[in-house]
Structure 1
């Protein structure tokens, strides 16, 4: 850590990756969620499999999984991790699709960024698959919902009233 307390800066103020080599590997897990808000007609079309580009949720699931594995290529100071598991699930409501990404590893640093990246890329894929039908879609409410493992321990977002879901 620098004199300023910033962990991602070296003593000269330059960006650096935090040194995690002294840490012991441990089981770590993170869950992130986001919503893609859309018209009721579009949500119904997704549920019925009636989107012209194909199976929206199947494509978004694979996109989210790929994104979790490639997070260090996208976020400059993220450590490459051995991602052990990635689950991407959906809940279709009247005017939105909720996306949940869960990532697990046994490593020296957490997988919060991998879960958030999986969630965001899955949301962008839903948007891409549905954009010809609904130009007013909005991606929002992306947040870390839960994490476990590591020095900071367990965290669960307040207001998490429903358990992880599956489509």
Structure 2
């Protein structure tokens, strides 16, 4: 439970620091820094692991300081976390079939896909697994190469989706 709070609070704190820096210095360097961090996949920003932690929190039914909600009927389906005055939304739509992710996998670039859609995009068969994907295989959304080798099976998110 403490790890989940830490991850969300850390993410919110960096966002607040960036906004405060930009306000005090009347610049946009804080926003540029956050964009650079996001593009380099540093930390838990837009990481599949953050979504897994939040899904675990919802599945466990724990009453902690996190204000979490999951709206599968919304367009697009989202998972939202509210902490202090920061809100983070995670889109649960597959970028290929445009439906809610089924048997979700998160690529190392942070994008979520259905297993069958991701396998199709990587030109591999489902039983082969993502480790057999070519290093040149690119994410269908951001076109980053080599993202399939470290794909994360989103077990907690899949469990959460099946419950609804």
Q: TM-score range by the shorter chain?
A: under 0.3
TM-score, scaled relative to structure 1: 0.23
| Larger proportion of helix | 2
Identify the structure with bigger relative contact order (alpha carbons < 8 Å, sequence gap 6+): 1
Larger Rg: 1
